[in-house]
């Protein structure tokens, strides 16, 4: 049973780290010049992952910004 608790704690640490990383990247998306992010490899894949994450967290304001960036990026 102790091993299960350790695994659950490790999973929570990973989830918290992912959430923190996405929040940090989101702050970059709010900057006036985000072109450097959009030019990076796998930017669309990362943005879609962020969109899924924030949607699951019910942070719809962040979802809105990311969706608008994806639409602009895909044009």
Considering the entire predicted model, what is its pTM?
A: 0.67
Cβ of 72: how many Cβ atoms within 10 Å?
Answer: 10
For residues 54 and 66, the answer to whether their CB atoms sit within 8 Å is yes
Residue 69 clears pLDDT 90, i.e. is over it: no
Summarised one tens digit per residue, pLDDT across range 47-57 is 899 999 999 99
Rounded Cα–Cα distance for residues 47 and 8 (Å): 27
């Amino acid at each position: 049973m102790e091993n299960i608790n350790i695994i659950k704690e490790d999973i929570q640490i990973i989830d918290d780290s992912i959430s923190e990383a996405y929040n940090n990247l989101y702050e970059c998306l709010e900057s006036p010049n985000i072109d450097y992010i959009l030019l990076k490899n796998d930017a669309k894949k990362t943005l879609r992952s962020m969109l899924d994450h924030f949607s699951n967290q019910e942070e719809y304001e962040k979802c809105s910004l990311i969706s608008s960036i994806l639409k602009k990026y895909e044009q």
